[in-house]
Structure 1
Amino acid sequence: MGEDVRIETVSEATRELREDIRFLGSILGETIRDHEGAEVFDLIEAVRTEAFRVRRAEVERSAVADMLDGTPTEVALPLIRAFSYFVLLANLAEDIQRDRRRAAHIQAGEPPQDSSLAATYAKLDDAKLDAETVADLLTDALVSPVITAHPTETRRRTVFDVQTKITEHMRTRRRLDPTDPDYAATELQIRREMLALWRTALIRLARLRIQDEIAVGLRYYDLTLYDVIPAINAQVRTALRERWPDADLLPRPILRPGSWIGGDRDGNPFVTGEVVRFAAESASAYAFDRYLRELTELEKELAQSARLVDVTAPVAALAQASYDDPKVFADEPYRRALHAIRARLSATAAQALTELPEAALSTQAAPYANPQAALDDLDAIDESMRANGDGLLADGRLANLRHAIETFGFYLQGLDLRQNSEVHEQVVAELLKWAGVHDDYASLTEDERVALLRSELHTRRPLLGPTAQLSELATKELAVLKAAKDVIDTFGVGAIPNYIISMCTSVSDLLEAALLLAEAGILDPSGPSSPVGIVPLFETIEDLRAGAETLRSALEVDVYRDLIQAQGMRQEVMLGYSDSNKDGGYLAANWALYRAELDLVEVARETGIRLRLFHGRGGTVGRGGGRSYDAILAQPVGAVRGSLRLTEQGEVIAAKYAESGAAHRNLESLIAGTLESTLLDVEGLGPDAEPAYEILDELAALARAAYGRLVHEAPGFVEYFRQSTPVAEVGDLNIGSRPASRKPTNSVADLRAIPWVMAWSQARVMLPGWYGTGTALAEWVGDDPARLAQLSELYERWPFFRTVLSNLAQVMAKTDLDIAARYANLVENEELRDRIFGMITTEHARTIAMYQAVTGHAELLTDNPSLAESIHNRFPYLEPLNQLQVDLLRRLRAGDDSELVKRGILLTMNGLATALRNSG
């Protein structure tokens, strides 16, 4: 019966999805007709109809291209905007449908779905784990999504806000009966918002500043994160302590967010000391503002009379310290106590911020020394209320505020710093030369560098005096670190939790960062001790292979070992998905990451450190994207161990965290995956692990060679890439403050991963997410059915291999080589075009064939029907966007560099990124 209900409800949800898409599309069409005229509307409708006929294979793929060829630019622009909005509205309808499907699942009475905490708790219950094991594995547990300064979220905030309003009105409309007067009023609101959407420009005229990026990142706290994160923390702690009451689990909240926005200066010249202060203060100001507003509301809510309730002595003391006039709210002790807390928190905010939040009091009260002191006062109110039988009241706004302060402290989110190791080397060399320590640090061998740096880190003597004259680079770098010191002193330990070293290749890279932290006064050499962790980032395949040995060697240096010891033996290591993929291709990069984790886990076991891995994942599969829950379960045994940090970036930030239900589900899935990977055996290979690893060693080598033959060895490949994709134009899309390349270059190696991936996505090749895998599988299997059976068994048994192939299928389902061929025609050299595109098409066919052979799936998305449905709904709208982009690129490159042509290209890029949903 349950299965029948599920089938009926899912079918109903699909019907409702189609209705929603038609409804929204019709309102958009009417809006266009009313404001752009019947001629434009008729053209859009004709193109839309033909695009859907192409999808149904009723006409040739050239039908849409033929309709659009030669379209005047001024006519193309409303066409592009229309199809971009069609896509955005289809996305919106799909997001609403997910909620329906979840409701249908619950209504059918089915068990909790994997990736939910309810399903994880059931698995933990079945495992019957002892409290001592759980307590050890969850020591210092942390799950930290880190919003990064790599935005490929191309929607403007205004567009995003209007979309959010339409979503809410659509949900309201679905709940109402058509005869209800509110039904017509809601539809009118949707029409009103649709007009606002059509009248809003899709793209920015000016590039985002870092300050804008900081504001964009903080908006997600207003939308969801401030309310959702503390609630999940409280729920998880309660659930685990109920199961293991004697283990005192999660003394700190497990879910603690982070950010790179304003602290990541690797390749971004706009990050300065002032920006670091601005980022930290903006986050803190948001936290204080929310706390003070909540306290204001609590003062209104908790007005119990002293004639009706008794209060504990601590609350009575707080009430006494409140208003100067003892007659004000004389018989309302909780109100007076909360006012006293608000006064002290206002004083704390005044001490930390340059501008007071609106809800702050003008007060002479003593500021709180730290968040725990504020929590102690709130806890006293909570205890008093529970002692009086008012726990139900205490579980409302008061509990939410207590959980929020415990989670966010006075800084809201930890701001990581990041810089490239090459910059550290230059600055350290300059400091050592100025101080008379060594005139040519760069000439030293690695052993000599380590010895010199070790010696310097054993002394408290600063290298620089007040009269030091430094280069612009060194001055700027030290200003950033001194700003970080001010942030820590002002907002507390945790405000700047990590210093990440990009392209870390050696022990000296780690010690150089330590020396710079010491020079800024953050690291105290006398311990040594530092509130900021030094985090190596291993990015290329070679660096990933050498990462464990680099860490082992660093831990053999006494000063570094002592520093880690002072930090509770906790060592964080960041793994780079983007550069490893660009370096060696999809399969080779994924396996290099897995192997690196295995080696790092072994180093942790040998040295006694508690390893925390930080995964630098992007939104798209080529940069480590895919379902986070599956990715966590695909980690090697011991690689998670209660701790996980991962970057969140691009369009997926909005998809995951713009709406409360989605945010709750995504954050739940991160914790669920972390708990399962930590406490259960999810790898499933057992004694067959080593043979499986050997197979992947061979596959990765074959895949890397195949990828290299195209990307690194094929003559003219870079020229082909630049001409057949809009990579040059990606830099003009105002999606972020960071330049598209680390430095002026024609080298793929120096191109940032976002434009590399985004350009291939726009051209519908998606090359970083699959190329080389088909050849590797085919060459390894050969004509041996036994080998094919081995791979099929690994696919069934091993989460890592299954996830790799599943993600590959997802990205290949978004490829379209017919459209890609039109982009290839932009390449002027016919021989180059045919040769490179021929290699791509051959590998594409080979990869699909091998995927089907290994998995047994006849279609790419057999195991992901929701994505298959999504592609079915959205991709006809991509057809005209791609065709128009190619046409406009051809005009631009032929010399028509008019503002309208450029704007049209950027509009198509915006629409395609919205449609693909994980383009960078």
Structure 2
Amino acid sequence: MNWDSPIDLATAGSPAALSHQSLRENIELVEQLLRQVAFQEGGSELVELLERLWASQDGSEEGLALIRALSLEQSVLAIRAFSIYFQLINIVEQHHERKLLRLQASFSADTAQPGSFCWLFDELKSLGISSPEIERVLQQLDVRLVFTAHPTEIIRRTIRTKHRRIANLLDELDGALSEWQQQQLRADILEVIQLWWRTDELHQVRPTVLDEVAHTVHYFEEVLFETLPRVRAELTRCLAQFHPALTRSVGTFCRFGSWVGADRDGNPSVTALITWKTACYQRGVVLGKYLHSIERLRDRLSVADSPPQDLILSLEEDQRALGEVYERYAIVYRQEPYRLKLSFILARLKRTRERNCWLEEHGPQRLSQPDDPSWQHYYRDASEFLAELQLVQQCLRLTGLVCRELEMLIEQVGAFGFHLAHLDIRQDSARHEETLSEVASRLRLLDKAYEDLSEIERREWLVRELQTLRPLIPAELPFSARTEETIQTFRMIRRLQKEFGTDICNTYIISMSRQASDLLEVLLLAEEAGLFDPATGTGSLMVVPLFETIEDLRSAPEVLEQLFALPLYRCYLTCHGNLQEVMLGYSDSNKDSGFLASNWEIFQAQQHIEQVARRHGVQLRIFHGRGGSVGRGGGPAYQAILAQPDGTVSGRIKITEQGEVLASKYSLPELAAFNIETVVAAVVQASLLPASPPGSRSWELRMQELSDVARRTYRELIYEQEGFIDFFCHVTPIDEIAQLQISSRPARREGRRDLASLRAIPWVFSWTQSRFLLPSWYGVGTALAGFIDCNYERNLAELRSMYRNWPFFRAALSKVEMTIAKVDLGLARHYVQELLPEEYVPAGRRIFRLIESEFERTEDALLLIAEHRHLLEDNPPLQRSIALRNASIAPLGYLQAILLKYLRGTARTAHSYSRSELLRGALLTINGIAAGMRNTG
């Protein structure tokens, strides 16, 4: 296997040039080691087979005949080799990115990468942005990155651990080593690959929700806990260089959240008890990190100076409260007061963790611990722990000392508290309607069924109930299991806040929000659980609408207008700093109407929502529900943030991070730090510099026309073309993907077998596997080409001007260009030819011709507008990487197609294999293709 580097050889002496040789060497190394393992596992026959498959990338009859002649055992060996190969290449690419980032840090500001803090403040200075303007944004800077529970992480955690091991060994190889040391490290990498080959790539069983929690928290434990303070240090360093007076304006600017263990929309496995255990698990992890840090600090702070008076008084209080600790350490540390103080802190932390373990085991019903003296004097919240650390910090400073490790720990406590990540609760609006319908019916509260009330009638009744001080829901719940679970969720949130503080869980996201009553329903249920006080109008739970479909996005401004007009709701907002969070969904709007319409409708929704908020004097935080793929709002976050409408960022943004994106962004400290840095830099930049050029109003009108055409074209294919659903089910591995044990959540809502109930993730995942990538581009070509054809010279010039000068339009078209560069219609045609049953062939051929024609229109239009001769001409590294992967993945695609034929019974094998054996082979190809594409859903 030969791999041509996607990194261009840059100017001599640049970071890229300095690491280029290392990149090539590492590629050759992993190829050589994988070939060695393949020989050990399958002999020369396997190595020869892999070379022949590699040469059959063009889909020639000879290559296809070779694939058809393979036994299942041979196919599985080949699939494993290709899958491991692609993952090794991904590791090497990440290692290369990591090395580039390190090298760039050693160069001057002139070579700083766009999106870095150094580049940003240099740019702002050159544009004449004043220090007070920058300070205003820094003081309100609030970036929230939310890890979600969506099932797009196909690689097992045990395999991810091997990835990290190889990355670290490659890192060690970059050092100044003797020949013997280099040989040893290569032998270590070989050993990891050998163990990897013998490790099952597939998840053995479907993970539980708590398994997913552990997997997600792993990124915090291994990377983010140490990385976040480094990002802050870099921000402070760059501010000191360009705006020294502003270094004190930097607060806790980045926080993390999680849906894992809290998102119950369509996942019956997420219960009140599971969310409670998730919170306890997260607290246990972060307490463990703090214990380790305090132990290290106690080893280091061996200061024997006379302590300041404040520390003496604190030690006296500690002695009275924790006499046994004093007796143990007073003599040992009699001349080392800081070590003694840290021993007391350590004891309190241990008791806090022991209490947390007890609460995790016994659940939210029991908040009081056993009557055991050893459990007293624990930290009730992170603020008590933080206050003690700050006391040590102040006392050290009074004596002229600074401990950087202590400073870092204080920053970590400020960012992670005792909760590690904020938990966002999410549930479908229909569940709340169903709950209140049953409550109202059971208690005979209404003259007619709640579900039969008009929207106005619902709002009027909900407002009346919210202002009533009497309880609505009895303590005992004589309702159905679903209704009881919904009510118990709110009661559990109340217990969470009582035990952990409001930081653990203070947002409730309502998916499929369509009307104001959807939010008032949640507010009423929150009131019943003690999360909202109608007497004072205060509440500890922010209700967040999630607008997902095109129709919902369009109605969002009116929904907020109705809410903001309610005195009760405005009073409620004041206890949240007069801030309203609004979530916008990329996945369902894209599945509903296609890429271009989805992005444009979200852009417009933000504009209109911001106008409503400004008119009512309400602050806004937009929560972007982005996925990993372009078809679900994915793509470079830096460009995406800069493409937001003017006035909608204002120092605040919230973004989902999910699935394979977590591994690509947060598996290595340098990559995690750079990702956080670029997101924060983009928020600052978008808050200070306008994204829309003067006179862009006419472009917005043009964009609406293009969006309408693209949406109509997309929906004509997806929802109106006869036989399309059958086409989709046959030419993609959608049914097989549903059998992957990668998520606790079902692939379909309510288990129905139709397009409406299919989740956006497997929808995108399936099209990616068969190389159509349809949701990310279909309809764009007709919209662009149709407009150009109306007046070629004038309209093409207008689109080119939009592309050059409007960040939104450029970012949208760049994503489409990247996506269609990944499309392989030759391979997609093979899926159609091989997998369509005979009776579906006429309709399938018609549909494929439509797709093929639209692809050609899209490619031609993009090249015209971007003034490129070839796709991605302005990004040679990405162009080469995609071209390589397109060809290299082809053998896996051919193997997948033939295994799907055998599995579905449309072709007979020369051998007798069970369905489970064939399914395993097909699922392995899904893993391999996902690794090669670096993308699932």
TM normalised by structure 2 equals: 0.92
Which residue is 1:832 aligned to? 843
1:450-849 superposed matches below 5 A = 450-681=459-690, 683-686=691-694, 688-782=695-789, 783-825=791-833, 826-828=835-837, 829-849=840-860
Residue 174 of structure 2 aligns to a residue in which SS? helix
Distance 1:751 1:460, change over 3 A: same
1:12-27 superposed matches below 5 A = 13-27=19-33
1:782-811 deviation line (CA, Å, top 9, x unaligned):
143111101101100011111001111111
Distance 1:883 1:252, change over 3 A: same
CA contact (8 A) 2:627 2:657 kept: yes
One-letter amino acid of the structure 1 residue matched with residue 609 of structure 2: L
One-letter amino acid of the structure 2 residue matched with residue 799 of structure 1: P
Counterpart among 404, 407, 413 of residue 399 in structure 1? 407
Matched, 1:883 2:894: yes
Distance 1:676 1:251, change over 3 A: closer
CA contact (8 A) 2:151 2:745 kept: no
Matched, 1:912 2:929: yes
CA contact (8 A) 1:792 1:854 kept: yes
495-504 or 380-389, larger mean C-alpha shift? 380-389
Which residue is 1:434 aligned to? 442
C-alpha distance in structure 2 between counterparts of 1:42 and 1:731, whole Å? 34
Matched, 1:318 2:314: yes
CA contact (8 A) 1:237 1:250 kept: no
- Deviation (angstroms), 1:855: 0.6
C-alpha distance in structure 1 between counterparts of 2:127 and 2:443, whole Å? 60
Which residue is 1:344 aligned to? 348
C-alpha distance in structure 1 between counterparts of 2:249 and 2:149, whole Å? 30
C-alpha distance in structure 1 between counterparts of 2:356 and 2:33, whole Å? 49
1:247-326 superposed matches below 5 A = 252-305=251-304, 309-320=305-316, 321-322=318-319, 323-325=325-327, 326=330
1:171-190 superposed matches below 5 A = 171-177=171-177, 179-190=178-189
1:227-242 superposed matches below 5 A = 227-236=226-235
Residue 433 of structure 1 aligns to a residue in which SS? helix
Distance 1:517 1:251, change over 3 A: farther
- Deviation (angstroms), 1:888: 0.6
One-letter amino acid of the structure 1 residue matched with residue 829 of structure 2: A
Distance 1:4 1:81, change over 3 A: closer
Residue 163 of structure 2 aligns to a residue in which SS? helix
142-151 or 433-442, larger mean C-alpha shift? 433-442
C-alpha distance in structure 1 between counterparts of 2:795 and 2:307, whole Å? 74
1:186-209 deviation line (CA, Å, top 9, x unaligned):
111111111111111100121111
1:436-463 deviation line (CA, Å, top 9, x unaligned):
3225111111110000000111123221
C-alpha distance in structure 2 between counterparts of 1:716 and 1:223, whole Å? 48
Which residue is 1:57 aligned to? none
C-alpha distance in structure 2 between counterparts of 1:560 and 1:319, whole Å? 48
C-alpha distance in structure 2 between counterparts of 1:108 and 1:379, whole Å? 35
TM normalised by structure 1 equals: 0.94
Residue 743 of structure 1 aligns to a residue in which SS? helix
Q: In structure 1, list runs of 5 or more residues that go unmatched.
A: 55-59
C-alpha distance in structure 1 between counterparts of 2:498 and 2:237, whole Å? 33
C-alpha distance in structure 2 between counterparts of 1:443 and 1:91, whole Å? 55
Counterpart among 379, 397, 400 of residue 389 in structure 1? 400
1:135-146 superposed matches below 5 A = 136-138=136-138, 140-146=140-146
CA contact (8 A) 2:137 2:684 kept: no
1:21-48 deviation line (CA, Å, top 9, x unaligned):
2221221121121123332232123212
CA contact (8 A) 2:146 2:259 kept: yes
C-alpha distance in structure 1 between counterparts of 2:670 and 2:246, whole Å? 31
100-109 or 856-865, larger mean C-alpha shift? 100-109
One-letter amino acid of the structure 2 residue matched with residue 631 of structure 1: A
C-alpha distance in structure 2 between counterparts of 1:107 and 1:333, whole Å? 40
CA contact (8 A) 1:541 1:583 kept: yes
Residue 582 of structure 2 aligns to a residue in which SS? strand
Residue 888 of structure 2 aligns to a residue in which SS? helix
C-alpha distance in structure 2 between counterparts of 1:733 and 1:791, whole Å? 43
Residue 285 of structure 1 aligns to a residue in which SS? helix
Distance 1:534 1:4, change over 3 A: closer
Distance 1:915 1:134, change over 3 A: same
Which residue is 2:365 aligned to? none
Matched, 1:331 2:335: yes
C-alpha distance in structure 1 between counterparts of 2:228 and 2:18, whole Å? 33
- Deviation (angstroms), 1:429: 1.2
101-110 or 448-457, larger mean C-alpha shift? 101-110
One-letter amino acid of the structure 2 residue matched with residue 812 of structure 1: I
1:464-499 deviation line (CA, Å, top 9, x unaligned):
223430011101111222222211111111101210
C-alpha distance in structure 2 between counterparts of 1:246 and 1:525, whole Å? 44
C-alpha distance in structure 1 between counterparts of 2:443 and 2:736, whole Å? 46
Residue 419 of structure 1 aligns to a residue in which SS? strand
Distance 1:132 1:17, change over 3 A: closer
Which residue is 2:386 aligned to? 375
Counterpart among 424, 428, 442 of residue 432 in structure 2? 424
Distance 1:352 1:248, change over 3 A: farther
C-alpha distance in structure 1 between counterparts of 2:394 and 2:217, whole Å? 33
Between the aligned residues of both structures, percent identity stands at 33
482-491 or 642-651, larger mean C-alpha shift? 482-491
1:106-145 superposed matches below 5 A = 109=108, 110-130=110-130, 133-134=133-134, 136-138=136-138, 140-145=140-145
CA contact (8 A) 1:176 1:182 kept: no
Distance 1:271 1:182, change over 3 A: same
Matched, 1:41 2:58: no
Q: Which consecutive segments of 4 or more residues in structure 1 shift more than 6 A? A: 241-249
CA contact (8 A) 1:211 1:275 kept: yes
Residue 646 of structure 2 aligns to a residue in which SS? coil
CA contact (8 A) 1:241 1:249 kept: no
Q: In structure 2, list runs of 5 or more residues that go unmatched.
A: 1-8, 320-324, 362-371, 907-912
CA contact (8 A) 2:272 2:492 kept: yes
C-alpha distance in structure 2 between counterparts of 1:106 and 1:342, whole Å? 36
